[in-house]
Amino acid sequence: MKKLVNAACMLLVIAVLTSCLKSNDDEAVYYNDAAITSFTLGTLNRYLHTTTAAGKDSIYKTSVAASSYKFNIDQINHVIFNPDSLPLGIDASKVVCTIGTKNNGIVVIKNLNNDSLKFYTSSDSIDFSQPREARVYATDGMSYQKYTIKVNVHQEDGDAFGWKQMADNNQLAALSGMKAMVLGKRIFVFGNDGGTTVGYTTTDGNEWTTLTPNINTPLTAGAYKQTVANADSIYMMNGNMLLRTADGSRWDEIGETTAIAKLIGASKKELYGMTADNKLMVSRDGGHQWQADAIDASASLLPTAPVATTCYPMNMADSTDYVVMAGNSTANAKAAVVWRKIAEYNYHSEPGQWVYMEADGNRYELPQLDNLTLVPYDDGVLAIGTVNGNFTYIYQSRDNGITWKKNKYYQLPNDFDTSTTRYAATSDGVNIWLFGGVNGEVWRGRLNKLAW
């Protein structure tokens, strides 16, 4: 790409190239159609920031084999682009690429600053820091097609996690205890306000709607603690009455039940509860019937208080969830007790059982935490809780409840100001939502790559 070309020079070059393609016995065939048929990147430079042992910022260069990044070619709008952006720090101003064409068409790249054209060669680097116009000329020397080539590069670190504070909510500030969950695209927060459970919902963390349940019996002060969500409904235990709603306002009475003393969790299609003597129960028909759930260890190892559960899909299997339960138990004074269940929903699937995560030899047990909340996030589970009345580290399990490690990326906001007994957390898959009941704080946390 050393020489500028004009139209006359291009015609001459095309004529020479096509004449070289013919044999002694055949006449050259000149085509009048032109198209770019493939676009592949070569090895690119990437510049990354790091911190030296002395605490100073430093930049180092590494290489990225970028051929695995697929480029789509829109032949209708003549746009070439990579749907998956290249990593942060890629130097898009010096890109080596391979461009394939139909019928050996000739590719030229338009100058960024004027209308001059340069021949494309696969050995030269091209500045793709902004979209570039490319033309492919047919071998007849007359026909050509214009394309816009866009090399997309992430402008943020995919592994960076940050919090954004939303508008405070005075209604949340009045809650003396709360629990949060997500159903569909809506976030629900239930809590105790003056001895009665009340509820609020939002889609963006800023605009809230007060729920007005269509039930005659007031919701008890502790009903919010026994509120869970499955795939399509929210369930709540109000005294002995099990309620269900799809929107938080219109509630149906499932019926009174003495089979469980408290409702503790849900998977997509199962509800889980505890009896008064701390036996684990399951309902597979929306709370109408309950039966003892299978466990593989002593019931004495089941958590007593707090009891936190969460559910998330098993990526390697269809219609299958991981369900994780954790809490404190007098049977284990050193760490929390953690249980895991694989819940399968296929027609011929056998009921799963709860498996106790043995602590022997485990250097990364989940410590005992008060006010424990489990949040499914980033292909794992986050555990948020308190120790001696203070918020502590957020622990992450990436092996479905076996090991729990501190992750430097996941920390509560520095300005999060609430009582340790007046907070709630949940996740919509992309964002972590954190709520505080003293000032009505609302925080949205996000790992960048989950929003891409």
Per-residue confidence band for 176, with pLDDT thresholds at 50, 70 and 90: very high
Greater confidence (280 vs 216) lies with 280
Q: What topology does CATH give the domain 161-451? A: Neuraminidase (2.120.10)
pLDDT given for residue 408 in this prediction:
85
Q: Are 29 and 156 in contact (CB under 8 A)?
A: no
For the range 282-290, what are the long-range contacts, defined as Cβ-Cβ under 8 Å and sequence gap of 24 or more? Answer: 282/351, 284/351, 286/233, 286/244, 286/254, 287/235, 287/242, 287/244, 287/254, 287/255, 287/257, 288/254, 288/255, 290/257, 290/259, 290/260
Q: Are 192 and 210 in contact (CB under 8 A)?
A: no
The token pair at 64 is 């990225």
Instruction: Tell me yes or no: is domain 4-150 CATH 2.60.40.2340.
Output: yes
Indicate the pTM of the whole model. Answer: 0.84
Q: Which helix (H) or strand (E) holds 14?
A: helix 7-21
For residues 25 and 221, what is the distance between their CA atoms, to the nearest angstrom? 95
Query: Phi and psi dihedrals of 37, rounded to 5?
Result: -110, -15
CA dihedral 308, 313, 316, 318 (to 10 degrees): 130
pLDDT given for residue 7 in this prediction:
47
For residues 298 and 329, what is the distance between their CA atoms, to the nearest angstrom? 12
> Which among 324, 342, 330, 255 has a CA at the least distance from the CA of 299?
330
How far does CA 375 lie from the centroid of its chain? 12
pLDDT in tens, 92-145: 999 999 999 999 999 999 999 999 999 999 999 999 999 999 999 998 878 999
pLDDT given for residue 28 in this prediction:
57
For residues 424 and 375, what is the distance between their CA atoms, to the nearest angstrom? 10
> Taking the domains of the chain in order of start, what are their residue ranges?
4-150, 161-451
